[in-house]
């Protein structure tokens, strides 16, 4: 494999449509941190990658470097966390976590340990008994590891309020993590 291509494991954070058949996909990887890539033709009905590039999916993918954004050429599903996507409440929780990650992670910075932490949060959401405290603690750890002040040393009682202040704009997610529970 040439240096222009790379195979990575990634968590899909978000996607947006571009043109008639393409998508911009924002992913989190252990090797490169957060990055945005182009998935050409993925919106066509005949595309086999179409379902794999949904937010919250854990995938293995092949990227080809270009002068602009990397091209996503192949995708293999590792885990779609289907149990999480069976109820509206679980979907809201997942979306909130993905938005926090998208807002805080820098582009093109290797973060192996933080990638594993985020993956463990998404795996926790897969359980029917996912713990609010566990998720809040893990997200707080991630925020601290990214170089921000420990949330417990701030005036904020919710990770959503804290991340909104760091990002200097409100999150669009729902309110699962907004109230501190003891």
Mean pLDDT estimate for the chain: 86
> pTM value?
0.87
pLDDT value of residue 60 = 95
pLDDT value of residue 1 = 44
Domains of the chain, earliest start first: 5-79 (2.40.50.140), 84-167 (no CATH)
Digit-coded pLDDT (tens) for 54-64: 999 999 999 99
Return phi, psi of residue 42, to 5°. Answer: -70, -20
pLDDT value of residue 157 = 82
Average pLDDT over residues 120-149: 87
Confidence band of 182 (pLDDT split at 50, 70, 90): very low
> What is the residue whose two structure tokens read 């195979």?
7
As beta bridge partners, residue 23 has 17, 39
Residues in the chain: 182
């Amino acid at each position: 494999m040439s240096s222009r291509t790379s195979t990575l494991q990634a968590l899909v954070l978000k996607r947006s449509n571009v043109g008639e058949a393409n998508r911009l996909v924002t992913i989190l990887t252990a090797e490169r941190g957060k990055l945005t890539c182009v998935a050409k033709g993925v919106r066509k009905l005949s595309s086999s990658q179409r379902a794999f590039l949904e937010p919250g999916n854990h995938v293995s993918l092949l990227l080809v470097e270009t002068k602009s954004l990397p091209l996503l050429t192949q995708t293999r599903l590792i885990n779609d966390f289907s149990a999480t996507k069976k109820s509206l409440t679980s979907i809201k929780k997942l979306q909130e976590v993905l938005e926090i990650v998208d807002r805080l992670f820098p582009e093109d910075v290797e973060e192996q340990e933080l990638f594993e932490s985020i993956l463990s949060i998404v795996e926790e959401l897969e359980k029917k008994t996912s713990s609010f405290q566990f998720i809040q603690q893990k997200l707080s750890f991630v925020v601290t590891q990214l170089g921000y002040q420990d949330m417990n040393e701030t005036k904020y009682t919710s990770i959503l309020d804290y991340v909104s202040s760091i990002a200097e704009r409100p999150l669009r997610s729902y309110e699962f993590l907004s109230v501190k529970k003891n």
